A and B are shown apart, each in its own frame.
Chain A
Amino acid sequence: MWDNELFLQTLPVLVKAFVQITLVVTVAGAALAAALGLVWAIALRELPALLGRPLGFVLDFIRMTPLPVHLLVVYHGFTQLSGMTVGIIVFGVHYSTYMSESYRAGIDSIRKGQWEAAKALSLPASRTWRAVILPQAVRNTLPSLGNWAIAMFKDTPFLIFISVPEMVTAAREFGGRHFSYIEAMTVAGLLFLVASYPTAVLMRKLEKKLAY
């Protein structure tokens, strides 16, 4: 049955695991995913088919295979890397393939006339992307990127596959030691909610602020 004492004891343990591991992997992984995703989206549009096709295939492959498999392959393939590093890289690369699709949709939503106006002004490709297309496309993409970041955040318990003691692993251990899981798991769930919800609200605010 529910034990208030245990509930209070588990809080600091899980908050610590949450801050030190879950948050670090999420923030670093999401930043990596957002940056790489943009690179993929632009590369798929600008590269000749000879290079673009293989890149597209690799991205499809990553997107269509399970995250835990990637974690295990990279973890055991590159033993010199720490679990945290593997986590950040794998989460970042995996989610970059989703985010690149979001960017692509954002880029596709820019009307043809914008590209044509840029060309009529002789703007070079780099300037067209940076000054004209991306400021508009990324604004359209932000809500979707935020959703992917939250999805990634909720996937962090997969780190258990490579023995990184993130929050849910910590909760399981704590529950095992005290022969009661409900308190620790409730705290873990609440912490996820406490972090996800304000992020979602923040994204919505940001989106409004960026509207012109």
Chain B
Amino acid sequence: MPTDQTTPPTADGGTPRIRFEDVRKKFGRTTVLQDLNFSVDRGERVTLIGPSGSGKTTILRLLMTLESLTGGYIWVDGDPLTHDRRNGKRVELRNKEVAKVRKRIGMVFQQFNLFPNMTVVQNIVEAPVHVLGQSQEEANENALSLLDRVGLRHRADAHPTELSGGQQQRVAIARALAMDPEILLLDEVTSALDPELVGDVLRVLEDVAASTDITMLIVTHEMQFAKDVSQRVMMFDGGKILEEAPPEQLFSDPQHERTQKFLEAVV
């Protein structure tokens, strides 16, 4: 039961998949995000761009609950993620409550973060078995078909250290998908890869984007990829949204000089 009464409905009359409301984040005395407000629709793919330190990765990390909010609220399908508004007061949720909503969110990291003590297939079945309660057989079958999808079924029993960076990242994508997330967060997933391995990873993600309706938040410097998969690009600077528009529009006709300079620098 959604508890967020104040969320404006989306264009189709539903609750947005993600809503940031007056979100503030400080690290020590440094303010990274300042009164940030935005919504993401169900199934929408949004790319966050901006110079480093502009707060885009922090947004993903806040959603994954890897960082804690300094102020404001994050709503997922109208449910509070870490803080709720009760009788006009901001209340921090208990771990158990947070866990329920967090399960709907998956993340792929820049550094892959596969578990090196497990094989590829063990990495993928770990959470479905121990979090979702799937049987070992069911999880295994599912993992193998996901590995098929990312082109790595033949490496199911390899250890992560035996794989190339690109292969590890494809396993990490399969691992996130195995949890059947409603929201997938992609945090500079190709930045740590050798250039010739980037293509395979992006192809896998394009396939996921085309064949599912998972809501995606993408932080990337691959502008072509942003153009191919996202419906909206948000340009961040200094913890604020400088401008946002569909990719074709933002890339061809940026309204701010800052955006123009940034795009010139990365393309």
Contacts and interface: CB of A to CB of B under 8 A. Distances in A.
Interface of A: 111, 113-114, 116-117, 119-124, 127, 131-132, 135-136, 139, 212
B117 A123 contact: no
Nearest to B108: A120
A121 B109 contact: no
A93 B107 CA distance: 42
B65 interface: yes
Contacts of A117: 109, 113-115
Contacts of A123: 126-127, 130-131
B171 to A, nearest CB: 12
A122 B179 contact: yes
B179 A121 contact: yes
Main secondary structure of the interface of A (DSSP, over half): helix
A212 B64 contact: no
Given A121-B179, A122-B131, A212-B159, 20 more contacts: A111-B113, A113-B111, A113-B113, A114-B115, A116-B113, A117-B113, A119-B66, A120-B105, A120-B107, A120-B109, A121-B126, A121-B127, A121-B131, A121-B176, A122-B127, A124-B99, A132-B117, A139-B117, A212-B116, A212-B117
A36 B211 CA distance: 51
B106 interface: yes
Contacts, number: 61
Interface in B77-117: 99, 102-103, 105-107, 109, 111, 113-117
Contacts of B64: 116, 119-120
Nearest to A116: B66
B130 A124 contact: yes
A48 to B, nearest CB: 13
Interface in B109-137: 109, 111, 113-118, 126-127, 130-131
A201 B175 CA distance: 39
Given A113-B109, A116-B109, A212-B161, A122 B99 contact: yes
Contacts of A124: 99, 130-131
Contacts of B113: 111, 113-114, 116-117
A172 B116 CA distance: 52
A13 B49 CA distance: 78
A114 B113 CA distance: 6
A136 B161 CA distance: 14
A136 B176 CA distance: 21
A131 B109 contact: no
A127 B130 contact: yes
Given A114-B115, A120-B176, A212-B161, A131 B126 contact: yes
B106 A120 contact: yes
B116 A119 contact: no
A136 B114 CA distance: 12
Contacts of B131: 121-124
A121 B175 contact: yes
Interface string B162-195: 0000000000000110010000000000000000
23 contacts: A113-B111, A116-B66, A117-B109, A119-B64, A120-B64, A120-B66, A120-B105, A120-B106, A120-B176, A121-B126, A121-B127, A121-B131, A121-B175, A123-B130, A124-B131, A127-B126, A127-B130, A131-B115, A131-B126, A132-B117, A136-B116, A212-B116, A212-B117
**Which 6 residue pairs spanning A and B have beta carbons closest together?**
A117-B113, A121-B127, A113-B113, A120-B107, A135-B117, A122-B131
Contacts of A135: 117
